[in-house]
Amino acid sequence: MIASVIVRSDVLIIGGGMAAAWAAIAAAETGARVIVVDKGAMGTSGVTATGGPGHWWVPEDPGLRREAVEKQAAKAQGLGDPEWMARIIDLTWRHLPTIAAYYPFGSDGRGGRYVQGVRGPEYMRALRRFAEARGVTILDHHPATELIADGEGRIVGARGIVLATEDAWEIRSGATVLATGGVAFRSGLIGSHTNTGDGLLMAVEAGALLSGMEFSISYSLSPAWASTRTLPYYAARFFDTDGCEIDVPPPKAGHAHQQALGAAMDRGPVLADLSDAPPALHGLLRRIQPLTVAAFERRGIDLWRQRFPVRLFGEGTIRGTGGIRIVDADCRTEVRGLFAAGDTASREPVAGAVSGGGAVNAAWALSSGRIAGVAAAREAQATRSGAYAPASGLGRAGLRPRRAARTLDVPEIVAAAGHEVHDYRKAFWRRADQLRNSLEVLDTHWHTLADHGRAEGRALVELRAAVAMTASARWCLAAALDRRETRGIHVRADVSRSDPAFARRLLVGGFDQVQTQADGPLAEVAA
């Protein structure tokens, strides 16, 4: 299969979720030619399209904003950046209302608009229409499989597959933005099936580093038969199948809440009871998260009066923190010509060691998308000739095997990555010995992929997804092993306290030998 150049562009954006859409809009507003390539269909793919995200929303009052930043900085446990927080708040406040021509904001009950909370399906459709109105070219079902670089290592575009025809494509660009979302390791989390870590893989293949990957233990509580959203469960009580109530700390306890649920689920089924939920929640849930209600109606279950089984769906870096390290205020990576935004970029500047939840994460996706889009457009305008230089592909595992290619059990490899990251006993009670054992399992799968993985067309897309999930799982676990403390959502059962020496970010990268870096040169993770 021979790749042919589809078109040349100023800015190429890989991904189709909230951050990708805002990046495309912002880049196009500068006058740049913008192309978006998405594994799914922009406007419906990704976790935003299935939810009801709220945004970190603080009015233009210096006191209120200072208070919001101080509160978030305290939550970040030493790893946040107050300047980034203030910037994200301001950008979100200024730009979210600009979708009003495409999105019908509701009432705030006081004669004004309710802006910060949006209905995910309508929001993403609105962002697509907004991008199209700005002249953005959107190529749905065009997953990228590798970045391409010129002779000096500068990223000048990407290659991928047209799913409808299984033909190869190549797009040249002056600058590229990775906004492929986080990685949920095929946990079943609604909207996350295409969130397989593709952007993380391509960035590291190009020479970038990741940051915050140890902060990957976050879960969404949903009915056991269908992942929906967690909105109603702050009002839930929990029972076992014998009708005995389970002692679970409140949701505000964070990790302890999920840890207690995970322990109970490890013993047997857990039932949720929402009969004590406030009546106001009934209408709010249907308005903000209609897919949650639909999952019960299809089964004939009254979620406000009947108990129902629940489970925890792993969210990985989607509601975790880790991603590609950004090195400046323009969301650049270490690699020339390459930018990162949204869940694909590390959210440590605004979330630190904790989950950004819905509000902070949504504000980060919007704002980092706009930042990266504008910066990429400016860089492309200054380096237009780069889109025409000779270039080579940077992808390795799954594309260019080191030994003889052979058929691999890709579903088994994918399942192993998810199990080693999200298994309750492994995730909630991390220990050095367990982390090393998990890395050994995944190392074996990695070498199999690197040595023998080879495919074309749709099979290549799925193989590269398996490569990305395996690599991402190894980066998460290696960082968790090297952060020898408990901080935020990274909880070690064998090192239960925070250590002031670890009040800094931990970088990770590498393939055959996963490596971590604090302040010094790269060092292999201790075996």
Q: pLDDT tens-digit profile of 312-344?
A: 999 999 999 999 999 999 999 999 999 999 999
Name the strands in the sheet holding 323-324, side by side, starting at the edge strand that comes first in the sequence.
323-324, 210-211, 507-509, 515-517, 523-524
**Beta carbons within 8 Å of 114's beta carbon, 6+ residues apart:** 105, 106, 107, 108
Percent of the chain with pLDDT over 90: 84
The confidence band for 254, taking pLDDT boundaries of 50, 70 and 90, is: confident
The pLDDT value recorded for residue 300 is 95
Which helix or strand (DSSP H or E) is residue 341 part of?
none
- Average pLDDT estimate for 169-191: 96
The pLDDT value recorded for residue 232 is 79
> Does 225 or 389 have the greater pLDDT score?
225
pLDDT of residue 16 exceeding 60, the answer is: yes
Q: Measured at the alpha carbon of residue 114, what is the angle toward residues 113 and 116, in degrees to the nearest 5?
A: 130
- Average pLDDT estimate for 62-66: 98
pLDDT of residue 524 exceeding 60, the answer is: no
Rounded CA separation 369/340 (Å): 8
pLDDT of residue 23 exceeding 80, the answer is: yes
Q: Which two three-digit tokens encode residue 259? A: 């840890």
Class of domain 410-508: mainly alpha
pLDDT of residue 147 exceeding 90, the answer is: yes
Per residue in 346-361, pLDDT (tens digit) is 999 999 999 988 899 9
pLDDT of residue 386 exceeding 60, the answer is: no
| CATH for 219-312 (3.40.50, 3.90.700, 3.30.70, 2.60.40) | 3.90.700
Which has the minimum average pLDDT: 210-219, 221-230, 327-336, 476-485?
221-230
The pLDDT value recorded for residue 284 is 81
The confidence band for 231, taking pLDDT boundaries of 50, 70 and 90, is: low
pLDDT of residue 294 exceeding 90, the answer is: no
The pLDDT value recorded for residue 384 is 65
Among 389, 29, 455, residue whose Cα is nearest residue 173:
389
SS3 124: helix
- Tell me which residue has tokens 């009040």: 503
- Average pLDDT estimate for 284-294: 80
Which has the minimum average pLDDT: 162-176, 244-258, 354-368, 399-413?
244-258
Per residue in 200-217, pLDDT (tens digit) is 999 999 999 999 999 999
- Average pLDDT estimate for 404-427: 97
The pLDDT value recorded for residue 2 is 43
Q: What b/e sequence results for 379-402 when a residue is b if at least 16 CB atoms lie within 10 Å of its CB, and e otherwise?
A: bbeebeebbeeebebbbbbbbebe
Q: Do domains 4-215+317-393 and 410-508 have the same CATH topology?
A: no
- Compute and round to an integer the Cα radius of gyration of the chain: 22
pLDDT of residue 527 exceeding 50, the answer is: no
Q: Which fold has domain 4-215+317-393?
A: FAD/NAD(P)-binding domain (3.50.50)
pLDDT of residue 61 exceeding 70, the answer is: yes
Among 274, 294, 276, residue whose Cα is nearest residue 286:
294
pLDDT of residue 526 exceeding 70, the answer is: no
pLDDT of residue 157 exceeding 90, the answer is: yes
Which has the minimum average pLDDT: 418-422, 486-490, 519-523?
519-523
Q: What b/e sequence results for 206-221 when a residue is b if at least 16 CB atoms lie within 10 Å of its CB, and e otherwise?
A: bbbbbbbbbbbbbbbb
The pLDDT value recorded for residue 352 is 96
Q: Are 281 and 52 in contact (CB under 8 A)?
A: no
The pLDDT value recorded for residue 482 is 97
- Tell me which residue has tokens 């020496």: 501
- Average pLDDT estimate for 74-91: 97
The pLDDT value recorded for residue 4 is 56
The confidence band for 438, taking pLDDT boundaries of 50, 70 and 90, is: very high
Cite the beta strand spans of 93-152 per DSSP E. 106-107, 113-114, 137-139, 144-150
The confidence band for 111, taking pLDDT boundaries of 50, 70 and 90, is: confident
- Average pLDDT estimate for 13-19: 98
pLDDT of residue 525 exceeding 50, the answer is: no
Domain coordinates of the chain in residue numbers?
4-215+317-393, 219-312, 410-508
- Average pLDDT estimate for 88-110: 94
Rounded CA separation 88/86 (Å): 6
**Beta carbons within 8 Å of 518's beta carbon, 6+ residues apart:** 504, 505, 506, 507
Per residue in 442-453, pLDDT (tens digit) is 999 999 999 999
Round the average pLDDT of the chain to a whole number and report it.
93
Chain Cα centroid distance, residue 48: 11
